[in-house]
């Protein structure tokens, strides 16, 4: 019995779990061989799953939707509480962009294929724009504040710690806060064939990330120090501030979460982000 977990620093639960041995002990009672595959870019998760490199992983809302649209066999396991991370759609303080509709004909930098694609889709839809009305510039998942500034775009979709880094370099203004656009949940999912063959290990994984989030909520200083040493950068102080307002917790897939994912999937299909319409619920069983 074994489990191979994909982990990257944009997903805090799996990242913390991979670095704190004591949190792994309950999981090892079910899956005696627990391994972690570490990488920096969460967008690699679905590829690693379908290639059999990892059994389970976690990302934001977008990757499992894209995977399902490509007929890849992934199964939802759990979701986190919403994460209203500091930041959102951000512009220079003197920018003429005041509303989401003002993004027409403008450029925006973000990590394409991450949860930020979902956030932009909501913004574009809400403003009554077409997807092509906004010029998208891809930026690395580990981009720092200076990388966003160097992108030379009219706006950025950025959250802490990069958002705090950007604020130290330039005067900026938030047009749409993160929580006004998306719930920004962590999504835990696995390779379908593995989940069906290893239900006990899949349940143990969900229990482990839930316990990790509970532990993290009570150990913010330790978590902040750990994350400051990751490829996401940031200082312990910046991380501590962001973590203090984080909504911790992992729960089973429910109707509300599936409705959020379906809404995103429908937007993606309408905007041509995914090749076909999907029924999200089909990946939850």
Q: What is the pLDDT of residues 178-231, one digit of tens each?
A: 999 999 999 999 999 999 999 999 999 999 999 999 999 999 999 999 999 998
The pLDDT of residue 1 is: 83
Percent residues over pLDDT 70 in the chain: 100
User: Does residue 22 have a pLDDT over 90?
Assistant: yes
Instruction: Tell me the pLDDT band of 234, cut-offs 50, 70 and 90.
Output: confident
Tens of pLDDT, residue by residue over 59-101, are 999 999 999 999 999 999 999 999 999 999 999 999 999 999 9
| Region 161-172 average pLDDT | 94
Lowest average pLDDT, out of 43-52, 85-94, 240-249, goes to 240-249
Q: Where are the beta strands (DSSP E) in 39-147?
A: 56-59, 74-80, 87-92, 107-110, 135-138
Q: How far is CA 140 from CA 31, 114, 132, 167, 231, in A?
A: 33, 10, 21, 18, 11
Cβ neighbours of residue 250 under 8 Å, at least 6 residues apart?
13, 78, 79, 80, 81, 186, 188, 206, 209, 210, 213
User: Inter-axis angle of helices 199-217 and 220-228, to 10 degrees?
Assistant: 100
Q: Which of the four pLDDT bands, split at 50, 70 and 90, describes residue 106?
A: very high
Report the length, in residues, of the chain: 285
Q: Identify the pLDDT of residue 32.
A: 87
Going along the chain from its start, the domains and CATH numbers come out as 2-83+184-284 (3.40.190.10), 87-181 (3.40.190.10)
Region of residue 3 (left: phi > 0; alpha: psi -120 to 50; beta: else): beta
């Amino acid at each position: 019995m074994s489990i191979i977990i994909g982990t990257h620093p944009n997903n805090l639960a799996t990242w913390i779990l991979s670095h704190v041995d004591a949190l792994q002990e309950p999981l090892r009672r079910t899956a005696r061989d627990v391994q972690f595959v570490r990488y920096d870019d969460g967008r690699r998760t679905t590829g690693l799953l379908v290639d059999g490199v990892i059994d389970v992983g976690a990302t934001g809302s977008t990757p499992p939707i894209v995977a399902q649209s490509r007929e890849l066999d992934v199964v939802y396991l759990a979701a986190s509480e919403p994460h209203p991370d500091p930041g959102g759609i951000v512009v220079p303080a003197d920018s003429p962009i005041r509303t989401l509709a003002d993004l027409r004909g403008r450029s925006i930098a973000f990590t394409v294929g991450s949860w930020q694609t979902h956030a932009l889709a909501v913004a574009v839809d809400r403003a009554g724009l077409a997807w092509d009305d906004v010029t998208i510039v891809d930026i690395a998942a580990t981009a720092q504040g200076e990388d966003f500034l160097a992108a030379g775009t009219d706006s950025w979709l950025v959250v802490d710690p990069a958002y705090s880094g950007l604020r130290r370099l330039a005067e900026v203004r938030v047009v749409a806060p993160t929580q006004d656009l998306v719930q920004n949940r962590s999504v835990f999912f696995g390779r379908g064939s593995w989940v069906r063959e290893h239900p006990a290990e899949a349940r143990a994984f969900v229990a482990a990330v839930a316990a990790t989030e509970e532990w993290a909520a009570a150990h913010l200083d330790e978590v902040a120090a750990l994350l400051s040493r990751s490829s996401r950068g940031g200082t312990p102080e910046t991380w501590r501030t962001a973590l203090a307002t984080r909504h911790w917790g992992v729960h089973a897939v429910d109707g509300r979460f599936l409705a959020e994912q379906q809404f995103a999937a429908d937007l993606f299909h309408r905007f041509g982000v995914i090749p076909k319409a999907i029924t999200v619920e089909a990946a939850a069983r």
